[in-house]
Amino acid sequence: MQKQLPITTYGMRILREKTTPVKNVDDNLIELISNMFYTMKNARGIGLAAPQVNVGLSLTVVDISDVENFESYKPLTLINPQIIDTHGNIEIEEGCLSIPEVRGIVSRPEQIYLKYYDLDMNEKNLEASSLLARVIQHEIDHLNGILFIDYLDEESLKKHKSLLRKIQKRKIEVDYPLYTS
């Protein structure tokens, strides 16, 4: 049975640490991935990285199929993902389940090429653009201890300063469980 995992929030050390590569897929990892998808869906997210559920592994799940015009996209599990090449650039507003209520314009490559491993630990290559590319980049950043707010300009960050302090002190209300220690 799937369970909802608490989500780590801004200020927690694990969100700033580089993750450890996954070496093999076992039943525990499959259960974690299943719970990550469940957690992401229940929090109405479209991507979730392992550090966001307090696990320091290079693993992320992505599902944009609930977004209008992206219904045909299949959910993805990306193990040890690496961006190999990028093209173009586009600025779009982003948010994050680990930084609730904070949104900001982030400039990212419009198209990416990445390699990752699937659940059988087979190396895969993927070309992604548009929303899928953006979500994957955001999640891979989590695996490297980078948060979307790191891309915001000084003025935008100032605007969110008091909210970021509230999140850091876990004095924020959301409709999904947050990690408490």
Distance CA 168, CA 82 (A): 29
Q: Cα–Cα–Cα angle for 90, 94, 100, nearest 5°?
A: 170
Instruction: Classify residue 181 by burial, with Cβ atoms within 10 Å: 0-12, 13-18, 19+.
Output: exposed
Q: Give the sign of the dihedral formed by CA 106, CA 113, CA 115, CA 4.
A: positive
Q: Is 139 a catalytic residue?
A: yes
For residue 176, give the DSSP letter.
Answer: S
Which candidate in 91, 127, 139, 155 is catalytic? 139
Distance of CA 21 to the CA centre of its chain: 16
Residue (of 1, 3, 12, 18) closest to 141 by Cα position = 18
Residue 148's φ and ψ, nearest 5 degrees, are -60, -30
Do residues 50 and 59 touch, judged by C-beta distance below 8 A? yes
Which residues are catalytic, by number?
139
